[in-house]
Amino acid sequence: MKFLRLGEAGQEKPCVLDASGTARDISSVVADITPETIPGLTDALKSVDLSTLPVVEQEGVRIGAPVSQPRNIYCIGLNYIDHAKESGLPVPEEPILFNKAAATYCAPFDPIFYSDKMTKLDWEVELGVVIGKPALNISKDEALDHILGYTVVNDVSERAWQIDRGGQWAKGKSFPNFCPTGPWIVTGDELGDAKSLPMWLDVNGQRMQTGNTNTMVFDPATIVSYLSEFMRLEPGDLICTGTPPGVGLGMKPPVWLKVGDTVSLGIEGMGSQTQNVIKL
């Protein structure tokens, strides 16, 4: 099942895509796709014939972020073997954890904001994991039952703030609109365990990243179980699970985004997103 939200910001309708790719309005079943409604979302739809639900026009309609607003956004650093090598850093023995501020969260086609104080703006295509029910001290075998589904994320980064300004990743990752998410959440029963998914990212039509989740150091189930040892994961929480090689930082010489650039990215079976870089 694919969940999405369609409409102008603040007026999105919760929808699912049926087998033919038609968007169906599920607002008669659930008011919106939020941290509060997610735990009962799939069960509420099990007895519903999607063909009886209203069709929502998709052409020319804004696609919103697939969850209204996660309570928490967690990120895993250097989680692809080939990206760690690209960065000249050792492959982590345990997941490297950092956070993105809540205001980074935005829709998949919303712009990336560029500040005059930025000098090294970078891109990262990532698999996002959306938590479906609370998780605390759960095993790896239990983890998939706590995942609602998966989504596409661009973990936008300002490397100067991340690396040159005291080595604090969170401040290089937390500017507004630094976490475009969507277009959909694809549930695990449709996508499986997400362990072998091709992924890509283009800048101005030029392929920069080509990767596959099969080079992850830690898979989604391992990450969810690991994080639940230290914190209670809540419904709607978003976990950005790392990026494959091809980021601007890894180019020789490095390549950075500038105003007017267009970034497009996607993961097989999960749709794609596009952002334009605009001056804030």
The CATH number of residue 193's host domain is 3.90.850.10
pLDDT(82) > 90: no
- Sort 29 into a burial class: Cβ within 10 Å, 0-12 / 13-18 / 19+: middle
Please, what is the average pLDDT of the chain? 95
> Does residue 61 lie within any of the structural domains?
no
User: Residue 96 — pLDDT band, cuts 50, 70, 90?
Assistant: very high
In a shared domain, residues 88 and 213 = yes
In a shared domain, residues 164 and 33 = no
SS3 content of the chain, % helix, strand, coil (to 5): 20, 30, 50
In a shared domain, residues 9 and 99 = no
> Does residue 66 lie within any of the structural domains?
no
| Residues 1, 189 contacting (CB under 8 angstroms) | yes
> Does residue 67 lie within any of the structural domains?
no
| Residues 241, 152 contacting (CB under 8 angstroms) | no
> Does residue 255 lie within any of the structural domains?
yes
pLDDT score of 274: 98
Residue range 120-146: mean pLDDT, rounded? 97
Boundary-marking domain end, from 27, 56, 85: 56
In a shared domain, residues 41 and 84 = no
pLDDT(88) > 90: no
How far, CA to CA in Å, does 272 sit from each of 111, 145, 201?
Answer: 15, 26, 9
pLDDT(83) > 90: no
Residue range 20-46: mean pLDDT, rounded? 95
pTM metric for this prediction: 0.96
d(CA 122, CA 154): 10
In a shared domain, residues 26 and 135 = no
In a shared domain, residues 47 and 79 = no
Residue range 234-252: mean pLDDT, rounded? 96
pLDDT(239) > 90: yes
pLDDT score of 272: 98
pLDDT(84) > 90: no
User: Residue 142 — pLDDT band, cuts 50, 70, 90?
Assistant: very high
Q: Which domain holds residue 268?
A: 73-279
Number of Cβ within a 10 Å radius of residue 94:
8
In a shared domain, residues 189 and 239 = yes
pLDDT score of 195: 87
pLDDT(227) > 90: yes
In a shared domain, residues 157 and 87 = yes
For residue 24, the 8-state DSSP code is E
d(CA 5, CA 123): 24
User: Residue 91 — pLDDT band, cuts 50, 70, 90?
Assistant: confident
pLDDT score of 182: 98
Distance of CA 203 to the CA centre of its chain: 18
In a shared domain, residues 37 and 77 = no
In a shared domain, residues 205 and 106 = yes
- Residue 244's nearest CA partner among 203, 271, 210 is 210
SS3 229: coil
Strand (E) positions, 118-178?
121-122, 125-131, 147-154, 157-158
> Does residue 83 lie within any of the structural domains?
yes
Residue range 176-204: mean pLDDT, rounded? 94
In a shared domain, residues 104 and 201 = yes
Structural domains counted in the chain: 2
pLDDT(28) > 90: yes
pLDDT score of 166: 87
In a shared domain, residues 249 and 138 = yes
